[in-house]
Amino acid sequence: MNSALTKPTIGTPDEIDVRLAAAEAKGVIRLKRITTRLGAEVEGVDLKNALTPAQIAVVYDALLRHKVLVFKKIGLNHEQQVRFTYELSEASPNIGAPTIGHTVFGHVDNFPEIFSVYQGEKSKPRNMERYEASAATHPWTGYHCDITACVNPPSIGMLRGAIIPQGAGDTNFGNLAAAYDTLDEPTRKQVETLWAEHEYKFGKTRGSEAGDSIASRRMVSHHPLVTVHPDTGEKILYNSPGFLKFVVGMSESDSTELLHRIWKHSVEYTIQHVWDEGDLVVWDERSTTHRAPTDIYSSGTERQLYRTTLVGQPLHGLNGDASRIVEGEPMLSCEEELASQMHVGRTGTSVTGNGFSSAFPEPG
C-alpha cells in the first residue's frame, strides 16, 4: 500500500462530511459535535432494534468522521450490544468480527463477546499509588489504544454504562489524527519513518490472576509511529503510551525524549466523557486513544461497564509496510478464539480483568 496512490476504502473526511450532511438532511441521523476536533452525540438511530445496511453505513461514516460516538442513555442489554457489534463489523472490509470479550482476560458468563469492566474499592490495583504519582507529573499516563501489543489491534471498541456513580469515573478520549496534523514540521518528518515496540507487560500484576492471563497470551509487536487509516487515508500519530515501550533503533534516552514529547502533544486533543447509566460510547481504535478513570477506587462507589471489541488489521506506515509480530499470536475473532480454546485457563475475567498492567489502567 502506498498512501499517496491508494484510495481510502470508505472516503476522505471531506467526502464523508458530504454524505453525513445528506443523511442528516434526510433525517436518517442527527449528530451533535462534542468539540470541533473530536466526538459526536448521536440521535435518530435506534440501536435497540436491528439496523438496516443504510443505517449501519451512516453510523460508520459518523464514527470515522468524529472518531468517538456517544449514544446517550439508550439502555441496551447484552443481546442488543452484541447484535450492534456484529452489525458494525459489516461496515468495512478493514474491520473484523467481534473478539472474545477481552483477548487476554476472557468474557462474562454466557456472552462470549462481552467483557466486564468493573471498578470498585475491592478491585483497587496494587500499584495505584505508583500510577497516580506518575500521572501527576506525566499527563499522558494511562492513555492507550487497546491491546496494541498485538499485531492487529482492535479496530473499534465500545463501552456501555451499566452502574455509573455520580461525580467520578469519566473516560477521556484523544484524537491521534489531530495529533499528527498539528505536529511541528521537524518532528513530523522525524516520526514518519519510525517504528515502535508495543508490549503487554506484567508489571506488578505478575503472579496474580491478571498477570497469569497476560503471561498466557503474551504479545509484542512493532507498529509504525505514523500510520495510514485504511478507511479514510488520514495520517495518524499512532501512540499508545500504555503499551508503547520504545522507538525501534533509537537509544533509550533519545527514545524517551521523543516519546514524552509526542505523548504530551497528543493529550492536547482530548475530550472527557461524563457517563450516565445506559450510555453507549463507540470509538475508532485506529485513530483515537483513551484513558480509564482512577477516582472510583477512593470514592466509595463502584462502576460497571460492558465492553465489546472488533478485530483489527495490522497497521500500515506511510511507505506501506505493515505491523510485525515480535512475539505472540494475532488477535482472533470470538468464534476463532472459542474454537482454538486459547481462552481456556485464563481466569482473569470480570473483576480481575480490570487489573492494571504495568502502571496504567487497561480497560476503559
Taking CB under 5 A as the criterion, the residue among 61, 113, 146, 231 binding Fe ion is 146
Query: Looking at beta carbons, which residue is closest to Fe ion?
Result: 364
Residue with smaller CB distance to Fe ion, 146 or 302: 146
Judged by CB under 5 A, the stretch of 125-133, 138-146, 161-169, 341-349 that binds Fe ion is 138-146
Judged by CB under 5 A, the stretch of 111-119, 127-135, 142-150, 170-178 that binds Fe ion is 142-150
Q: How far is the CB of 65 from Fe ion (least distance, A)?
A: 22
Residue with smaller CB distance to Fe ion, 103 or 232: 103
Residue 203: all three cell numbers together:
508489571
| 284 belongs to the binding site for Fe ion (CB under 5 A) | no
| 11 belongs to the binding site for Fe ion (CB under 5 A) | no
- Closest to 237 measured CA to CA, from 173, 287, 172, 312: 287
Judged by CB under 5 A, the stretch of 140-148, 203-211, 224-232, 260-268 that binds Fe ion is 140-148
Q: How far is the CB of 361 from Fe ion (least distance, A)?
A: 8
Residue with smaller CB distance to Fe ion, 23 or 115: 115
- Closest to 362 measured CA to CA, from 129, 148, 196, 179: 148
Pairing assessment for the beta strands 40-43 and 30-33 based on DSSP bridges: antiparallel
| 364 belongs to the binding site for Fe ion (CB under 5 A) | yes
Residue 95: all three cell numbers together:
474491520
**Signed CA dihedral, 356, 362, 363, 364: sign only:** positive
| 353 belongs to the binding site for Fe ion (CB under 5 A) | no
Any idea what DSSP says for residue 242?
T
**Signed CA dihedral, 13, 1, 152, 332: sign only:** positive
Going through the chain in order, the beta strands assigned E by DSSP cover 30-33, 40-43, 68-71, 115-120, 156-163, 171-175, 195-199, 220-224, 226-228, 235-237, 244-247, 270-273, 280-284, 288-291, 302-310, 324-327, 356-357, 360-361
Residue with smaller CB distance to Fe ion, 58 or 117: 117
Which positions lie near Fe ion, rule CB under 5 A?
146, 364
